[in-house]
Amino acid sequence: MFEFPSLFRLDNRVAFVAGAASGIGLAAARGLAAAGALVVCADTNSAGAASASESIRERGGKSEALALDVTDAAAVNQAFLDLEQRHGRIHTVLTTPAVNIRKRLLDYQAADFDKVIRLNLAGAFHVLQAAGRHMQAHGGGSIILCSSMRAVTVEPGQSIYATTKAGLIQMARGLAVELGPCGVRVNCIAPGVVETPLTAPIKNQPEWYNAYSARNALNRWASAEEMAGPVVFLASDASSYVTGTVLFVDGGWTAIDGRFAPPV
């Protein structure tokens, strides 16, 4: 039976966030902690992970830091084993690390392709696999991948990045089907234009920045903090019957044509 006042609470749960040092990962880590979870802030930037964890504790939350490169499968697997020994169970896993090399597809070099695929797809796969094995053994949990509106809409220079974000959705759906009988839920959020370190170069070009603002239904960019609510929702019992799906958090970008508003 549901206790409606506590549907979004995560008290006595452990959440693991990869990419917690900045951007969406940092905002989500803070949101999960505010909902009551003990948050493991993982990032290849060890100082950034420590800073994120400290910022949560300063707000009265519970957190610890973990230096982790998600492209290292052995390190990811060991991290989950270590966390299981310390905490017993991990209830929520979010992975956000990504890189975008903006080049037209015909200009891509093999090294560019490998770099984007290695972090965006392979890194997420390592976390997904380790989390899935852990949650399968413990009879449940919520895994959240950070896809993008670019999974379904693309522009010049975004082809390979978009490919990885579409791939994340299919990986999430596949694992959701495979682990659903074990009580494990797997979903994606698909942000639109969000002000993060990854998009800082766009913000520094007013014409580009303003064009993106005008393109979505809300006529503005999102803050990273606006991604925390959807993550908490997917981590909580409020989404207990939600799996294998994509939650677009894109300000209506994928709902609006955006080129012309006809007089009606």
Helix (H) or strand (E) holding 94: strand 92-95
Q: Is position 161 annotated as part of the catalytic site? A: yes
The tokens for 113 are 């392709």
Number of alpha carbons in the 13 Å side-chain half-sphere of residue 249 = 21
Backbone dihedral angles phi then psi of residue 43, each to the nearest 5 degrees: -165, 150
SS3 217: coil
**Partners of residue 65 on adjacent β-strands:** 41
Q: CB neighbours of 228 closer than 8 A, spacing ≥ 6?
A: 27, 28, 30, 31, 32
Distance in angstroms (rounded) separating the CA atoms of residues 243 and 240: 8
161, 209, 212, 241: which is the annotated catalytic residue?
A: 161
Catalytic residues: 161
